[in-house]
Amino acid sequence: MKEYFPYNAENIHPGFSIDCVILSYHKRKIYVLLNKFYLDGYWALPGGFMFANEDADSAAYRILKMRTGLSDIYLRQFHLFSDPKRTEMNQHLDFSRLEAQMGSQIMWIMRRFVTMGYYALVRYDDIELVSHDNEQPGWYEVDKLPSMYSDHANIIRTAITTLRELWEYFPLGEKLLPEQFTISNLRNIYEFMLEKKLDRRNFQRKMLTDGVIQEVGRKEGVRYNAPVLYSFINKKI
Amino acid sequence: MKEYFPYNAENIHPGFSIDCVILSYHKRKIYVLLNKFYLDGYWALPGGFMFANEDADSAAYRILKMRTGLSDIYLRQFHLFSDPKRTEMNQHLDFSRLEAQMGSQIMWIMRRFVTMGYYALVRYDDIELVSHDNEQPGWYEVDKLPSMYSDHANIIRTAITTLRELWEYFPLGEKLLPEQFTISNLRNIYEFMLEKKLDRRNFQRKMLTDGVIQEVGRKEGVRYNAPVLYSFINKKI
DNA sequence: GCAAAAGTGTTCAAAATACACCCATGC
DNA sequence: GCATGGGTGTATTTTGAACACTTTTGC
């Protein structure tokens, strides 16, 4: 428990938390990583608190490493959620359970928190989901979310909206895909982000003439017209 | 004093502050609005704290209204500054002066704060600078800043960098210019933001064919080839 | 045999870029 | 008379958009 909840009222910066919207791509869908919350019935974003001697970005990286094992992750601040009522939205949670589990000191967690929202883009196969006593992680399609704790559904929606607004100018497909991928997978991500169908041929030509991807082989194990595999070109300047 | 410093350790959300980078355009330069800090010798961003029952955006709007009199302002979160040492950067400030002025209760201000950075873009002529007992506002060219309190120079730099990254895709010239302006003023802002010279004719054609500005007259009081005045077209819907 | 996934080029329109000369004024 | 700011148009290149048919396999 301690390892996964090293926080107390004294060692954290007060009234401030961090929540991470960890997104990935798998089987033609965008997924978000959720944890079963320590109070039954609701799922929550992987999150945590910032220690008194830590900055927010470091805290976010630490939290992500703890949850995913990864340290080289694309992670960005996207919005501060500060509605004074956001932590009152708790859907009739039974905090006595929490107190029983964690001791009465934990009640500092009932106070008002503002939370810094971060989004992270990861490669699906890089993540190994590991359950712990009080945690049970799982991938959910972003538009088929389970019942969410507090305002976490809103945080996810805002992360997606922010990414969508930026995608046209700052696309990040590389962060979501494995080393080798088909053009169809890449286009699929663009179509999700831009919320429109893209012409196959024009999309492919643009990616190739932009020089961001290169052909690296053909998919094996398919017994018909095997698709070409591409990988992103590492621009080492 | 109270009106301009309504905060105390009990009514604010702990460890959290707000700083506003208020930018404008005047005589072919970009300016930032600074206040002489209540400790002598350094200038500071207009800022403040979030009340216990207030959200951060409302607090930022409240602070801006107090400082500028304006309530209809373009204001956006851009970065959370959370270096644990950021409030230790105070350049040998004489806090005994502060204590003498404000009473010993004010010493809560010495604790660690994370600060949410907002940028605001305003029309220069809309702002009337008013001095108060403990405040003395002034416009400074963004690349000729005076000695700044704490990490405020860094906050300004980061605001400018953020705007520059977004400008190509989300230009906001309208927010900085008066109702009527010359194309040369508009291009001047773009050149500052994009950090490059733009072709006069191509720039003008693009703005016009994009349909965001319209001709509204000619500048008066110039006794030679009077420049055309433009104004942004209000897109209703 | 038909639906699904993948391969492949051309044409047209729109947008971005490059570029030069004239006019009026202040100094 | 010359530097400054301002007015104006064309030609070229680049980019984006629209669009159809063939192959292979699974069912």
Counting residues of chain A whose pLDDT is more than 90, the rounded percentage is 71
Task: Judge whether B123 lies within some domain.
Answer: yes
Tell me, what CATH number does B33's domain have?
3.90.79.10
Q: What is the pLDDT of residue B151?
A: 94
Partners of residue B31 on adjacent β-strands = B24, B141
User: Lowest-pLDDT range, A35-39, A136-140, B77-81?
Assistant: A35-39
Coil/strand/helix, residue B169: coil
Task: Judge whether B206 lies within some domain.
Answer: yes
Q: What is the pLDDT of residue A2?
A: 55
Q: What is the pLDDT of residue B74?
A: 97
Residue A116's alpha-carbon distances to A17, A89, A195, A236, B152, in angstroms, are 6, 17, 26, 32, 21
Task: Judge whether B37 lies within some domain.
Answer: yes
Q: What is the pLDDT of residue B2?
A: 55
Give the domain-ending residue among A167, A185, A209.
A167
Q: Is the CB of B205 under 7 A from strand D?
A: yes
Q: What is the pLDDT of residue B104?
A: 76
Tell me which chain A residues have a C-beta less than 8 angstroms from the C-beta of B19: none
Coil/strand/helix, residue B134: coil
Rounded CA gap, B232 and B31, in Å?
Answer: 22
A83 and A114 in a single domain? The answer is yes
Q: What is the pLDDT of residue A93?
A: 66
The pLDDT tens digits of the residues spanning B97-152 come to: 777 777 777 788 888 999 999 999 999 999 988 877 667 899 999 999 999 999 99
Q: What is the pLDDT of residue B131?
A: 78
Rounded CA gap, A145 and A45, in Å?
Answer: 11
User: Lowest-pLDDT range, A175-179, A202-206, B216-220?
Assistant: B216-220
The pLDDT tens digits of the residues spanning A42-91 come to: 899 999 999 999 999 999 999 999 889 999 999 999 999 999 999 776 65
Q: What is the pLDDT of residue B70?
A: 92
A198 and A89 in a single domain? The answer is no
Coil/strand/helix, residue B62: helix
Rounded CA gap, A34 and A57, in Å?
Answer: 20
B105 and B154 in a single domain? The answer is yes
B188 and B117 in a single domain? The answer is no
Q: What is the pLDDT of residue B90?
A: 61
Residue B75's alpha-carbon distances to A83, A180, A230, B23, B129, in angstroms, are 17, 42, 42, 10, 19
Task: Judge whether B5 lies within some domain.
Answer: no
Give the domain-ending residue among A167, A185, A210.
A167
Q: Is the CB of A218 under 7 A from strand D?
A: no
DSSP strand E in chain A: where? Answer: 12-26, 29-36, 43-44, 47-51, 74-81, 114-121, 137-141, 181-182, 213-218, 228-232
Question: CB neighbours (10 Å) of residue A234?
Answer: 7
The pLDDT tens digits of the residues spanning B160-180 come to: 999 999 999 999 999 999 999
**Nearest CA of chain A to the CA of B31: how many Å?**
26
Q: How confident is the model at residue A140 (pLDDT cuts 50, 70, 90)?
A: very high
Rounded CA gap, A63 and A61, in Å?
Answer: 5
Question: CB neighbours (10 Å) of residue B223?
Answer: 6
B156-195: burial string, b at 16+ Cβ within 10 Å, e else: bebbbebbeebbeeebbbbbbbeeebbbebbbbbbebbee
Rounded CA gap, B78 and A2, in Å?
Answer: 34
A41 and A105 in a single domain? The answer is yes
H/E element, A64: helix A56-68
Q: What is the pLDDT of residue A3?
A: 62
**Protein residue closest via CA to C1' of C9:** A201
Rounded CA gap, A92 and A149, in Å?
Answer: 10
Whether B223 has a pLDDT exceeding 70, the answer reads: no
A59 and A91 in a single domain? The answer is yes
Partners of residue A148 on adjacent β-strands = A43
B79 and B150 in a single domain? The answer is yes
Tokens 């270096």 sit at which residue?
B83
Task: Judge whether B7 lies within some domain.
Answer: no
Residue A104's alpha-carbon distances to A5, A48, A160, in angstroms, are 15, 19, 37
Partners of residue B18 on adjacent β-strands = B48, B116
Coil/strand/helix, residue A131: coil
Kindly state the tokens that stand for A157: 């929606």
How many angstroms separate the CA of A203 from the C1' of C9?
14
B216 and B150 in a single domain? The answer is no
**Protein residue closest via CA to C1' of C23:** B225
Split into its structural domains, chain B has a count of 2
B93-100: long-range pairs with CB below 8 Å, 24+ = B93/B39, B93/B41, B93/B42, B93/B149, B94/B39, B94/B40, B95/B39, B97/B39, B97/B40, B98/B38, B98/B39
B77 and B194 in a single domain? The answer is no
Domain of residue B81 covers: 12-167
Give the domain-ending residue among A116, A144, A167.
A167
A195 and A113 in a single domain? The answer is no
Q: What is the mean pLDDT of residues A10-14?
A: 96
Please, is A196 exposed, middle or buried when counting C-beta atoms within 10 Å of its C-beta (0-12, 13-18, 19+)? exposed
B148 and B42 in a single domain? The answer is yes
A21 and A44 in a single domain? The answer is yes
- Chain B residues at the A interface, defined by Cβ less than 8 Å, are 13-16, 50, 52-57, 77, 79-80, 82-84, 112, 114, 116, 168-169
Residue closest to B33 by CA, chosen among B119, B161, B116:
B119
Mean pLDDT of chain B: 90
Please, is A70 exposed, middle or buried when counting C-beta atoms within 10 Å of its C-beta (0-12, 13-18, 19+)? middle
Select the more confidently predicted residue: A109 or B143: B143
Task: Judge whether A2 lies within some domain.
Answer: no
Kindly state the tokens that stand for B130: 């008013």
Task: Judge whether B227 lies within some domain.
Answer: yes
Rounded CA gap, A129 and A69, in Å?
Answer: 9
- Chain A residues at the B interface, defined by Cβ less than 8 Å, are 13-16, 50, 52-57, 77, 79-80, 82-84, 112, 114, 116, 168-169
Q: What is the pLDDT of residue B92?
A: 63
Q: What is the pLDDT of residue A163?
A: 98
User: Lowest-pLDDT range, A24-33, A89-98, A136-145, A216-225?
Assistant: A89-98
Tell me, what CATH number does B189's domain have?
1.10.10.10
Q: What is the pLDDT of residue A202?
A: 96
Mean pLDDT of chain A: 90
Task: Judge whether B219 lies within some domain.
Answer: yes
Q: How confident is the model at residue B91 (pLDDT cuts 50, 70, 90)?
A: low
Kindly state the tokens that stand for B159: 């605001």
Rounded CA gap, B13 and B44, in Å?
Answer: 21
Tell me which chain B residues have a C-beta less than 8 angstroms from the C-beta of A80: 56, 77, 80, 116
Whether A94 has a pLDDT exceeding 80, the answer reads: no
Rounded CA gap, A166 and A76, in Å?
Answer: 13
